[in-house]
Structure 1
Amino acid sequence: MAEITTRIVRVFEVPRRLLDDFLAMPEASQVGVYSLVGDGDDADMPSLYIGQTGNVGKRLAEHNEKKDFWSRALVIVSLTNSLTQTHVTFLEWQCIKEAKQVGRYQLENGNGGSKPHTPAPLEADCLEIYDTMRVLVATLGHPIFEAVAKPVGETNAKELFFCTAGGANARGEYTAEGFVVLKGSTGRLENVPSIAGKSDERFRQKLLDVGVMAAEGDKVVFTKDHLFRSPSMAAVALLGRTANGWETWKASDGRTLHQVMRQPAS
């Protein structure tokens, strides 16, 4: 459970196997917004479903019967039990819009929700609630509304790393979550024979299948900023071969990622 003491928003992270424990809590009967989160990996985004309801417990029980993909739910309610249907309808629409824009998760929603008629003071309240829930769900380890890379124009050139081996032309950022290959980066399409039929080949094909990379001639192009758990998997995606990303990714001055991040400054 997470909250900010000066705000009215409370967020529960509910592992699916502990759903019955949440259903027994008084908050389960409240009006609320919720997200169902499924696991992902380096090649595939985690799944996400965003919804709203007048009774979060009842709705989650229904999803437990009908939806297989999720492993945990994030439930957003009010400490004062003061959320209305207009609040949660607006918040559902806002959350879906922002999650799509950020692109960290594969949305399972069939539509984008609908923005209700919201007077300006009520909309301001909703946006304040959204800002609070955005911080809280990220604090719980689910950065649904946080970009994987800094916005264009905010990245310092010294923070960028480059991969130019094997004909690649790629840019990336090393972050607290892993390594982000930036949109527009290119690599080789063909795999080397040594990974044929192995996990690295399947990994690259999955990136193509889900649309993270697209084939253009003899190249692959990243269609979006994409987070990898390690620099090495980011390098494999670009080069079509086994690679040590700590040596392959280099800063603009030629130092490797290993030299920049792992070796103490002299």
Structure 2
Amino acid sequence: MSVLAPGSGGVTAGRSLELYFIDGRPDGMLTAEVFNWTGHVLMAPRTQLAAALSRKEAGYTGVYLLLGEYDGEPRAYVGEGEDISDRIRSHDTRKDWWTTVVLVTSAANNLHKAHAKYLEARLVEQARLVGRVTLDNGNTPPRPGLSEAAQANMEAFLDYLFMVLPALRIDMFLQATRPARQNPVETSDTSPTRFELVNRRHKLRATAVLDGGDFIVQAGSLARASWEGRNTETSGYALLRDELQRMGVLATRGSACEFTKDYAFKSPSAAAAVVNGRPANGTLEWRLEGGGATYKEWEAQHLEVLTGKAGL
């Protein structure tokens, strides 16, 4: 599969992520590697723990993640070790909530203890910053003293890791909130497309921008105070809404909820569902700001323009 290269310089390049399903099952043990990255990721369900720990990379120096649920909420633990299999064996008897283990090492086993401690500290910091899961860790471990060059190497290592893990559906480090826009002087070529959703019955108005492929609902937008749709316990959008409240992205403001931060949704429908408190077709409910065309109409016109340009 193709993914974007890490980095924040605004220039991205394609990268090839190689997933190897060890026993041929998509829900079984797998490895993940990226060309030109020294890292190696091994992911396994707890039911295959013995097989995972028998592999050579399980005896390497690195970091690991334990993933699962506790009291119905996502939970995780981040750890490190010079022989990570020893640490995971101890957790097998002391922690019973986790169902998946992820081992992160280097293919040549060239990480040392200080590298692993730095990676552990940064992973805990990032997980707490994002707030998607409850960490079973106690305090955030301090970063060890590394040289400037070694820190740069570990940050580059993390850039790749933060690219690989979401491809494995591990999004606990993925930052969906966005920093407040500084309102720069924008030209017609760079201005993001702006949409709004107005729910007059519940006195709600939300605004969003389509920017760089992200559908970002903006801070200050209002949403229903609670989820009113059917199948509350099983709706993915209801669970997403609960997560946003748990993260503090949605905060109660009188009879409604307010977005405290800009938040990037995966689709207009996900955004509309959270705003309306029920399943919604976002392509019809979001309109160009000012009461213009629906998102669906705008998208059709946009595709027609692009197709026309491509045919020239």
Same fold (TM over 0.5): yes
- Determine the structure 2 residue equivalent to 1:220: 257
Secondary structure (helix, strand or coil) at the match of 1:38 reads strand
CA-to-aligned-CA distance 1:48-92 (integer Å, 9 cap, x gap)? 322212222222233333334433222111112121111111111
Contact map agreement 2:218 2:259 (CA 8 A) in 1: yes
CA RMSD of aligned residues (A): 3.7
Secondary structure (helix, strand or coil) at the match of 1:3 reads strand
Q: Which deviates the most, 120-129 or 136-145?
A: 136-145
Query: Are positions 1:125 and 2:153 aligned together?
Result: yes
Higher relative contact order (CA 8 A, sep 6+): 1
| 2:220 paired residue among 152, 160, 184 | 184
Structure with a larger share of its residues in strand: 2
Rate the CA distance shift 1:51–1:172 in 2: closer, same or farther, 3 A. Answer: farther
The residue type paired with residue 207 of structure 2 is: R
| 1:112 paired residue among 118, 140, 148 | 140
| 2:105 paired residue among 64, 71, 77 | 77
The residue type paired with residue 25 of structure 1 is: R
- Determine the structure 2 residue equivalent to 1:25: 55
Q: Unaligned stretches of 5+ in structure 2?
A: 1-30, 184-189, 306-312
Query: Are positions 1:50 and 2:78 aligned together?
Result: yes
Secondary structure (helix, strand or coil) at the match of 2:41 reads strand
Tell me, in whole angstroms, the C-alpha distance in 2 between the residues paired with 1:197 and 1:265. Answer: 37
| 2:118 paired residue among 71, 85, 90 | 90
Rate the CA distance shift 1:71–1:98 in 2: closer, same or farther, 3 A. Answer: same
- Determine the structure 2 residue equivalent to 1:37: 67
Secondary structure (helix, strand or coil) at the match of 1:184 reads coil
Secondary structure (helix, strand or coil) at the match of 2:304 reads coil
CA-to-aligned-CA distance 1:91-131 (integer Å, 9 cap, x gap)? 11112222333344443322211111222232223222222
| 2:199 paired residue among 157, 165, 178 | 165
Q: Unaligned stretches of 5+ in structure 1?
A: none
CA-to-aligned-CA distance 1:200-249 (integer Å, 9 cap, x gap)? 8x948846863442211222112345566654453343234554322112
- Determine the structure 1 residue equivalent to 2:232: 199
Tell me, in whole angstroms, the C-alpha distance in 2 between the residues paired with 1:70 and 1:144. Answer: 15
Contact map agreement 2:179 2:262 (CA 8 A) in 1: no
Q: Aligned pairs, how many?
A: 259
Percent identity at matched positions?
28
Rate the CA distance shift 1:208–1:93 in 2: closer, same or farther, 3 A. Answer: closer
Contact map agreement 2:117 2:144 (CA 8 A) in 1: yes
Secondary structure (helix, strand or coil) at the match of 1:136 reads helix
TM, length-normalised to structure 2: 0.67
Tell me, in whole angstroms, the C-alpha distance in 1 between the residues paired with 2:300 and 2:33. Answer: 36
Contact map agreement 1:15 1:73 (CA 8 A) in 2: yes
Tell me, in whole angstroms, the C-alpha distance in 1 between the residues paired with 2:138 and 2:269. Answer: 35
Tell me, in whole angstroms, the C-alpha distance in 2 between the residues paired with 1:106 and 1:261. Answer: 38
Structure with a larger share of its residues in helix: 1
Aligned-residue offset at 1:39? 6.8
